[in-house]
Structure 1
């Protein structure tokens, strides 16, 4: 197939998460037209999730390429790099206090990062309310995107930044996410310093974790006095129903968890019992390892669409690095096919190596090794799925 030149190519990005928006920003920085399609009705229609640590060797590199690193540093919480590891009895076994100028992995709320990226794009770049249903066509002609509202769009390059359950990936691969055997149960806390001062002191300015090999707690401060706690368990994907409960049965879930964590310290138990509002169940899925697909000259995948892994500090950072490298490959190439080929030559080996290293990573979450790697709590919930 003779792919179109960049001056005439119609480029469509599916998913307005960090990866998709970073790719769009860098393409526009190089004068390349692009349209982003997202299922959300508008930028504020969905909670974007918790806090992210953006690393200086991937996520921050992408923001530098996007010309947004100064804006990121203005928003980032450098104190969020503080990390405490505790035993189930509450004893602190390690405590990292960041230096004043430490910028290895400062924290930023997902919503703040998304807003920063959205504001950097040209007006009209995002087409909200476009839930992708399918990608049809083949390598020899433009791809046809069909959306939930019945509209269709022709595209010379479709970039799948649409998360774990990517509809773009389905056009070139039969792989689907597999349950890892572990689940996150998310709990929210508000007005930490006034309503939850004991927990504010326990967690500090950044994050705190404890594990016993079978279960774990991870608490993470967010901006605006908020905190999120993730109760991590080895359990069936339907563990709530298996316990005779419903997802909205907060009192029943709380009682069930209190029994499961009965041998933990009273202070740590408050991370389970003192939350404000309902729990949110987030079972952890990952794509098979290794994952590859037959090259297509008009489809490219990035982030979770290409390499969904356990949330061990790499998800959003890798998605943004993918996005930067793909955009730069497009800017440097003479044809789309040349760009996709060059991008995949780097992205696929890198992601395969990392995915193999993190295969079975649910066990790392439960025994505490994950927190030595860093964690961005990326469950794919901020990408289109």
Structure 2
């Protein structure tokens, strides 16, 4: 067991990876504090549906003692894809849910809620924005907060996402734009209000793609379908087009031109959504993203290996959290634990980031010369 009876452990960020780490630590009787800049759990939407893989996300939930509760919420029938021709909407390929196992889907908000509910009361300190992490000469780390206060810990875990403040203590890397943007929207009560779209999507997800652009629609719980209009363009595409992103009609007109020639049943995703368009430029960290070990601080999830959203990021973040917690419980010192964790996580993340980049190219094909 760790030589320190109860090391001071801080996790920055109450996302899936950070919460998994906290849960596994508490399963083993360790104290941990999670700092989150959001004012509450419901301060902002948590995003769409996730498929949890057996060897990553599900393995992490098993280590956290939450796999059974996850299975009660999950939608195994949603592990299904319909690939459709962009010009006719004809079905080109169908991958149905497997008879057993597979990658059951769950709404990100439901999964986060499951993790939050599993923690000891007061574990998460809401409305505590971290501005920096400063490693100290004695191998500990000081967290600096937006209100001007500071606290010292034996280890600080940066689980604070793409624009991590903790990352600066380890790496000068900054996320770069991939060249791909998603414009997100959504549809409510689909089986009743949007039955034709519901049939196109089925129980899981639908993909239609052309050169440099794709449409993706995913079933969420409670009859909701979330849609992503994906395209290759400069990050400031709307500026070049003279479009105010708050002008829904102007955005729609531009998108309809981009998807000219596509089947009208697919263009329904553009014309008839129940929610506003949300512009989401996709960023990634360099591959490989590594750092020299620094005592008292480490990273997990997007803070460590930001990659395109093609199904691996959340799963890896949760596995990172589980692996780090396990090392902190079993290794002889905090520093040994972090070294062991990084020796596993960094090579794994390089492989996953490479695969995710290829996945994005498959999802939104670039023009060939």
Common fold: TM-score over 0.5: yes
Take 2:187 and 2:90, find their aligned partners in 1: how far apart are those partners?
Answer: 22
Take 2:130 and 2:164, find their aligned partners in 1: how far apart are those partners?
Answer: 9
Cross-structure match for 1:113: 111
Cross-structure match for 1:31: 29
How many residues are treated as equivalent by the alignment?
364
Take 1:104 and 1:165, find their aligned partners in 2: how far apart are those partners?
Answer: 32
Contact 2:183 2:277 in 1 (8 A): yes
1:81/1:8 Cα in 2 relative to 1: closer, same or farther (>3 Å)?
closer
Question: Gaps spanning 5+ residues in structure 1: where?
Answer: 369-385
Deviation of residue 7 (structure 1)?
1.5
Take 2:144 and 2:339, find their aligned partners in 1: how far apart are those partners?
Answer: 25
Take 1:306 and 1:366, find their aligned partners in 2: how far apart are those partners?
Answer: 24
Contact 1:6 1:32 in 2 (8 A): no
Cross-structure match for 1:297: 295
Contact 1:286 1:308 in 2 (8 A): yes
Deviation of residue 361 (structure 1)?
4.8
Deviation of residue 135 (structure 1)?
1.1
Take 2:365 and 2:354, find their aligned partners in 1: how far apart are those partners?
Answer: 19
Cross-structure match for 1:7: 5
Matched, 1:346 2:344: yes
Moved more, 357-366 or 151-160: 357-366
Take 2:40 and 2:197, find their aligned partners in 1: how far apart are those partners?
Answer: 34
Contact 1:86 1:93 in 2 (8 A): yes
Take 1:168 and 1:139, find their aligned partners in 2: how far apart are those partners?
Answer: 17
Cross-structure match for 1:374: none
Deviation by residue 1:147-203 (Cα, 9 ceiling, x = unmatched)? 112221111100011110111111110000000000111011111112111101111
Take 1:352 and 1:207, find their aligned partners in 2: how far apart are those partners?
Answer: 27
Contact 1:181 1:362 in 2 (8 A): no
Query: Where in structure 2 are the equivalents of 1:173-184 lying within 5 Å?
Result: 173-184=171-182
Contact 1:139 1:296 in 2 (8 A): no
1:6/1:227 Cα in 2 relative to 1: closer, same or farther (>3 Å)?
farther
Contact 2:36 2:125 in 1 (8 A): yes
Deviation of residue 258 (structure 1)?
0.5
2:206 counterpart SS class = strand
Cross-structure match for 2:97: 98
TM-score, with length taken from structure 1: 0.92
Question: Gaps spanning 5+ residues in structure 2: where?
Answer: none
TM-score, with length taken from structure 2: 0.96
Contact 1:286 1:309 in 2 (8 A): yes
